[in-house]
Amino acid sequence: MALIITDECINCDVCEPECPNEAIYLGVEIYQIDPHKCTECVGHFDEPQCVQVCPVACIPIDPQFVEDRETLWQKYRRLQLELTKPVVL
């Protein structure tokens, strides 16, 4: 499952730097989460860090991106491979 930031977001800026996958970014009005990068912190932490630091509890599971724990692990591994892949110019 990926997480989603709802319109209750107050743009407090605390979630973005906590994301180990750099999945959180500032959208047009509020912060957003890229579901293709969000692993709910699987592979990094026991709990989603953005949820832990959010002062208004506006980061639920995104019902459009329901994934089991194994799928989140596979996404984590793919993201890690992308990070270590050499850049060819």
**Hey, what domains does the chain have and what are their CATH numbers?**
16-84 (3.30.70.20)
Label residue 15 exposed, middle or buried (CB < 10 Å: 0-12, 13-18, 19+).
buried
pLDDT in tens, 31-72: 999 999 999 999 999 999 999 999 999 999 999 999 999 999
Burial class (CB in 10 A: 0-12, 13-18, 19+), 42: buried
* 86 CB burial (10 A radius; 0-12, 13-18, 19+): exposed
Q: Quick check: 73 pLDDT over 80?
A: yes
Q: Give me the pLDDT at residue 29, please.
A: 95
What secondary structure letter does DSSP report for 76? H
